[in-house]
Structure 1
Amino acid sequence: MTTENLAERLTLYGTAPDTEIAALVKETGLERVVAALVDEVLFRCDDPVNTTPVDIALEVGHGEETHRTVLRMSRGEPIRVIGGDDPSVVIRRHLQFALTDLVRRLYGPLHAQHSGDFTDVFLPDRPDDLSRLRDILDSTHQAGGTLLSGCTAQAPGLGALSVRYGSDKWASFHWYTQHYENHFAKYRDRPVRILEIGIGGYADDLGGPSLKMWKRYFHRGMVFGLDLFDKSALDQSRLRALTGDQGDPTALRELAAEHGPFDIVIDDGSHENEHVRVSFDALFPYVRPGGLYVIEDLQTSYWPRFGGTSGPVTAPDTSVGLLKRLLDDIHYAEFDPKPDEPRTITQSEVIGVHTYHNIAFVEKGVNGETSIPAWMDDEAWKALGAITPEEGREEAQSR
């Protein structure tokens, strides 16, 4: 089993019984499972604030077996795994978890209670220099809090995560995360698959801030990013950077067939109006029913250099023109006269279009509502006690 497959399977075990977790450990081995969990913990941890280095031994037990990982924490440095206890480090702490408890802490429901499911060995050795006791106690407490911040499914809101990881979706050129919070909340506890077109950073920088934001927000999610440039150095547990051209529909369909279907697709790519349309047509079939397709930066519909239309009314081949077409598709059953050809996928499966300043959310489902029966003529309406539109206009004019 690959590391990527193990990470994906673990996202499903947050609500699994102990027997299924035990079967996974038997199949994979405790060391590999713990390594995947530690990798997830380190990604979620807050930045260390302790000024004096602290080594924490994280011990994870399963049955009669225990695996131990020693982590070094110090302000201004990334948390790192070290080989073992270092006698030169004065401050050491041990935290012990049962494997099943740690799995549920990471991948279980957001609001589950987890008090009392770990053992803490605080300062196992008496410090030689008691004049440093206050600093030692403070640093130990802070480092323990940092580690526990990573042992939870809870996360800040998207606004705070956007700032933390450097995404431009909040408090920059855009104010998108408030709308993302509104539409994404119902997916947050699910093992979702997300594809974002456009990783950022252009050719000279890896980018990836939004991908990390999605990974932290969706604690059970698998996150994929697509970029024209190779950003595979960003790859980590639950996050994969793919290389491809969003203007190539064949490549998009092949990508989606391999890594989809997706619960959420976000287009934050080139913002070229043609690319937006090509990507939507290629990828919308690979969005699961109940999922969302998001289009960012609709302003380029009005910018000719991106293939947009200057002036107050956009052309049909722009991003906004696409959304207008989808609104017509939702109302396919109301067309008069009724079309003879079969419904298109968007006429059958688009059930909502929510548009805000420069961002839109397209809902996928079953657009199965029918129209008023064709035989409901004026005579039938009168039989129900209604008046015809013409009679209504005449009555209004007489008042």
Structure 2
Amino acid sequence: MIDHARDLIEAADRGPTDVAAVVRHVGLRATAATLIDEILFRAHLGDLVSESDASVVITLTDGSRETSVLVSVGPKGVLIGRSADVTDLPPVRIVQDVCDTALALYGPRERVSSASREVRWPSPRVMVPRLASNLAVPRIFHAVVQRVLQVLDREEPVRLADLAVRHGTDKWSFLHQYTPHYQRHLGHLRDHPVTVLEIGVGGYDDGEAGGGSLYMWKEFFPRGLIYGLDIADKRALDRPRVTTITADQSDPDALRATAERFGPFDMVIDDGSHMSPHVITSFRTLFPYLKEHGVYAVEDLHGSYWPQLFGGSENDLNDPEYTVGFLKQMVDGLNHEEFLKDDTRAARPTDRTVKSVHFYHNLALVEKGRNEEGSPIANVLRQAPELLGIDRLQ
């Protein structure tokens, strides 16, 4: 299936007219395939465990035209395009205009609308005899329909920790507790059309393993495009809105090529080798491709200290050749306008482009932004050093 999500996200951000133009260009069937894949990804129907089966038909319309997909849920799991053939009830049909659906999934939240939606339950001729014989409609029917409608109404869960557990990433686990920090700093972007690059897909050399973090970000940012960079080929994990890139994070040319093609980024997460030279090279290369007010995250800072696994060192905790020492320099950079002497330290490229730095256990978040507020008092002190009781500033 060709992924048309990028075109739909960009069009939904502009409005209904542009979405309709994409539908005309791509075609109803191809557009519906992308949208229904997105609905099923977010609905997590596989979580619904039941001894009974339920089927729902999702129908997307464009004027008099329509296209449908049958989804069955039951003891055998989730079946797409075919029925479990064990229930004696016909499927529930959820019908909605294709443009309304694209706007609901990929547009600003204020464009979510159920005006064109119909939920068609089986006809009374089917249901009444069943109810009269004391055979209640299985709850699984209601649960499946409710999950789909929650997605169409953009009422999916928003706790990143829940999504981390659901997708099997260790960003919330006995190893790390990163998700509350990410939620605090990124929650306001959840409904924005963001672009995220994560270095390190997971699963080591197994091309079909890993990707849990990418899918977590995909669900957390329902309008986002997610890119995963790894030294191993991880293309088997590609999904709509999730694209993997094979590259070495220690190779600046490869990183620049990635950024030129897919950037600029709202967020970059370094969960790669954890080796200081690689982390520092990645930051220096990719930070210029971070958008204004974007966030650059460096995970697993323990690599800066552990010589056995990651070539780290505890000999000089401020050594800028190691990840934490390199990041610590940015704290002084935040206050570069307060230095009174010309030779306090050499100016660094990030002095004027890093707006904030937040450190947590094993995690640093660097926010890009203009850092040129000025310091009137420092200006006076530099011009009148006698106020400091010294002859001159050097």
Aligned counterparts of 2:327 and 2:277: Cα–Cα separation in 1: 13
Deviates more, 1:108-117 or 1:299-308: 108-117
Matching residue of 2:352: 348
Superposition map of 1:1-399 within 5 A: 3-4=2-3, 6-46=4-44, 47-75=47-75, 77-82=77-82, 89-91=87-89, 92-110=91-109, 114=113, 117-124=116-123, 126=126, 134=135, 136-156=137-157, 157-204=159-206, 206-305=209-308, 306-310=310-314, 313-338=317-342, 344-372=348-376, 376-377=380-381
Q: Does the 8 Å CA contact 2:201/2:214 hold for their aligned counterparts?
A: yes
Aligned counterparts of 1:250 and 1:366: Cα–Cα separation in 2: 26
One-letter code of the match for 2:220?
A: Y
Deviates more, 1:86-95 or 1:211-220: 86-95
> How far is the alpha carbon of 1:338 from its aligned partner?
3.1
Q: Does the 8 Å CA contact 1:330/1:347 hold for their aligned counterparts?
A: yes
> How far is the alpha carbon of 1:355 from its aligned partner?
0.8
SS at match of 2:351: helix
TM-score, normalised with respect to structure 1: 0.86
Aligned counterparts of 2:133 and 2:293: Cα–Cα separation in 1: 57
CA RMSD of aligned residues (A): 3.0
Aligned counterparts of 2:288 and 2:119: Cα–Cα separation in 1: 50
Deviates more, 1:187-196 or 1:297-306: 297-306
> How far is the alpha carbon of 1:133 from its aligned partner?
6.0
Q: Does the 8 Å CA contact 2:337/2:378 hold for their aligned counterparts?
A: no
Aligned counterparts of 1:378 and 1:25: Cα–Cα separation in 2: 62
- Judged with a 3 Å threshold, the aligned counterparts in structure 2 of structure 1 residues 112 and 79 are, in CA distance, closer, same or farther, namely farther
Q: Does the 8 Å CA contact 1:59/1:96 hold for their aligned counterparts?
A: yes
Q: Does the 8 Å CA contact 1:194/1:223 hold for their aligned counterparts?
A: yes
Aligned counterparts of 2:133 and 2:261: Cα–Cα separation in 1: 57
- Judged with a 3 Å threshold, the aligned counterparts in structure 2 of structure 1 residues 378 and 229 are, in CA distance, closer, same or farther, namely closer
- Segments of 5+ residues of structure 2 without an aligned counterpart are none
Aligned counterparts of 1:374 and 1:88: Cα–Cα separation in 2: 79
One-letter code of the match for 1:185?
A: G
User: Residue deviations 1:38-74, cap 9 Å, x none?
Assistant: 0101111123334322221111112222122222222
One-letter code of the match for 2:64?
A: E
SS at match of 1:347: coil
Aligned counterparts of 2:140 and 2:356: Cα–Cα separation in 1: 51
SS at match of 1:126: helix
Aligned counterparts of 1:378 and 1:359: Cα–Cα separation in 2: 37
- Judged with a 3 Å threshold, the aligned counterparts in structure 2 of structure 1 residues 359 and 242 are, in CA distance, closer, same or farther, namely same
SS at match of 2:102: helix
Matching residue of 1:395: none
Q: Does the 8 Å CA contact 2:295/2:367 hold for their aligned counterparts?
A: yes
- Judged with a 3 Å threshold, the aligned counterparts in structure 2 of structure 1 residues 67 and 16 are, in CA distance, closer, same or farther, namely farther
> How far is the alpha carbon of 1:369 from its aligned partner?
2.5
- Judged with a 3 Å threshold, the aligned counterparts in structure 2 of structure 1 residues 284 and 93 are, in CA distance, closer, same or farther, namely same
One-letter code of the match for 2:185?
A: H
Matching residue of 1:385: none
> How far is the alpha carbon of 1:188 from its aligned partner?
1.0
Q: Does the 8 Å CA contact 1:264/1:292 hold for their aligned counterparts?
A: yes
SS at match of 1:376: helix
TM-score, normalised with respect to structure 2: 0.87
Q: Does the 8 Å CA contact 2:53/2:74 hold for their aligned counterparts?
A: yes
Q: Does the 8 Å CA contact 2:338/2:378 hold for their aligned counterparts?
A: no
> How far is the alpha carbon of 1:314 from its aligned partner?
4.4
SS at match of 1:313: coil
